[in-house]
Structure 1
Amino acid sequence: MVQRATGFEARLVDGARDAAALCSEVWLSGQPFGGQLEGAVLEAAVQADSGMYLLFLTDDVPHEDFLHVHLLSAEGDLLDSASLGYPYATGTFSLLELEPPDRIRFGFFGETDWIVELLPRPELCLPLIAEPRGVRRALRLRRHFRIHGDPRRAGRS
């Protein structure tokens, strides 16, 4: 069952505004939790029954805001990440609803509802062809969550 998690905060790493990618340290209940994650503003935190946490962070960069979705273990280890966005396609994050047992519905860009589906166990992922438009992941052969969405392209009616 997924539920909102409390006690999380993201602290921008010193000098991160000058770097190519904004990074934050994640804190839970006033204590460091895991390492640095891509993103600057913590938009939402969700906890799964397994004790894993799904964190949603945006860059807070006007006209080029990206959403970074990070899955962390109960100990704070990064298990999986994905980023959503396009250059010049600023999105606005809105957590629409939690859909038990394993889905989170949210809005960001592309005039679509996005869904993150937590998987019961990691699955094989084919890089570059396994994601909706506007979703990017590091090159890995396994993923712990799927992202569903059909973003509207600019100029498409």
Structure 2
Amino acid sequence: MGNGQLVEVMMKVVTSLTLSQVSEETDTAQACSEVLMNGKSTGVTIHGKVLEAAIQVDEHRYLLFVTDGVIFEELLTVLLFDTSRGVIDKIIIGGAYSTGHFENLKVFPRSVSFHFTGDTAWTIKVLASATIKLPFTDPQGVSRPLGLRKYIDITRSPLNNS
């Protein structure tokens, strides 16, 4: 472990991570929740109140799929949570006045796919280490905070409605 090698763990859905709401949404702010691991505080507070899914990526990292629980205006926030460093990457899918419903989650050894808005399948891959984040390279409908590095790659493809 000390030689810089990653322990190979296949991605899997876990129930050990949950959210505990610490503040309600207001007209100007999202609800906030604390991330709990096995019911214990992690000290990490995030925006959002509904944990749609938690995926273990490796020994210390998890993908969290979080919404606000608002029926007609929904954003999906995907967080990469590291147990020792907190949230290390974040993407948001959706936009103002858009509706979405998180469904059809499929977990593969190194990626996850799901449906959220429209006739679109989204695929997320978590990188072993950070890469340089180039502007305007994410698919339409995806936003990220400003920064130079990313750990999450996301792609979208139309659903085959034949």
Q: What TM-score does the superposition give when structure 2 sets the normalisation length?
A: 0.84
Structure 1 residue 133 corresponds to structure 2 residue 140: yes
Relative to structure 1, is the Cα distance of residues 130 and 22 closer, same or farther in structure 2, using a 3 angstrom cutoff?
farther
Give the direction of change, closer, same or farther, for the CA distance of 1:150–1:23 in structure 2 (3 Å limit).
Answer: farther
What percent of counterpart residues are identical?
Answer: 36
- Residue 124 of structure 1, CA deviation: 0.5
Q: Deviations over 1:68-90 (max 9, x none)?
A: 00001132511101111022221
Partner of residue 22, structure 1 = 31
CA RMSD of aligned residues (A): 1.7
CA distance in 2, matches of 1:21, 1:115: 26
* One-letter amino acid of the structure 2 residue matched with residue 84 of structure 1: I
For 1:6 and 1:59, the matched residues in 2 are separated by: 19
1-side partners of 2:156 and 2:35: how far apart? 27
5 Å matches for 1:33-52? Answer: 33-52=42-61
Kept in 2: contact 1:3–1:46 (CA 8 A): yes
Q: 1:78 is matched by which residue type in structure 2?
A: V
Shift of residue 114, structure 1, vs aligned partner: 0.5
- Ranges in structure 1 where 5+ consecutive residues have no aligned partner: 153-157
The TM-score normalised by the length of structure 1 is 0.87
Moved over 6 A (4+): none
Paired position in structure 2 for 1:155: none
The equivalent residue for 2:16 is: 7
Q: Which of the residues 57, 65, 69 maps onto 2:74?
A: 65
Aligned length: 149
Structure of greater Rg? 2
Q: List alignment gaps of at least 5 residues for structure 2.
A: 1-9
